[in-house]
Amino acid sequence: MTNPTVFLKEVYEELTKVTWLGRKDVVRSTVAVSFVVILISIYISLVDLGLNSMLKAILGGR
């Protein structure tokens, strides 16, 4: 088993090799993901509302 200190040192070395996104790219991606999540949420809500209404009509609910 590897020494924890050696492991953490190797992890740090690997993290220095990572190319991180810039702030502009992170903000753009966050906005895009948020927009898609909102659209999917609206779609699922509308489908749920429609199915709920159909079931109430079929089963004679209030």
Kindly state whether residue 3 falls inside one of the protein's structural domains: no
Kindly state whether residue 43 falls inside one of the protein's structural domains: yes
Range of the structural domain that residue 58 is part of: 21-62
CB within 8 Å of 62: residues ≥ 6 apart? 56
Q: What is the pLDDT of residues 17-48, one digit of tens each?
A: 999 999 999 999 999 999 999 999 999 999 99
61: pLDDT strictly greater than 80:
no
Rounded CA separation 55/48 (Å): 10
Burial of 51 (C-beta count, 10 Å sphere; 0-12/13-18/19+): exposed
Q: Tell me which residue has tokens 């429609």.
A: 50
Q: What is the pLDDT of residue 1?
A: 65
* Domain total in the chain: 1
Two structure tokens written together for 14: 């690997």
Threshold 0.85, pTM exceeds:
no
pLDDT band at 2 (very low <50, low <70, confident <90, very high): confident
Kindly state whether residue 34 falls inside one of the protein's structural domains: yes
Q: Tell me which residue has tokens 């190319």.
A: 19
62: pLDDT strictly greater than 70:
no
Kindly state whether residue 4 falls inside one of the protein's structural domains: no
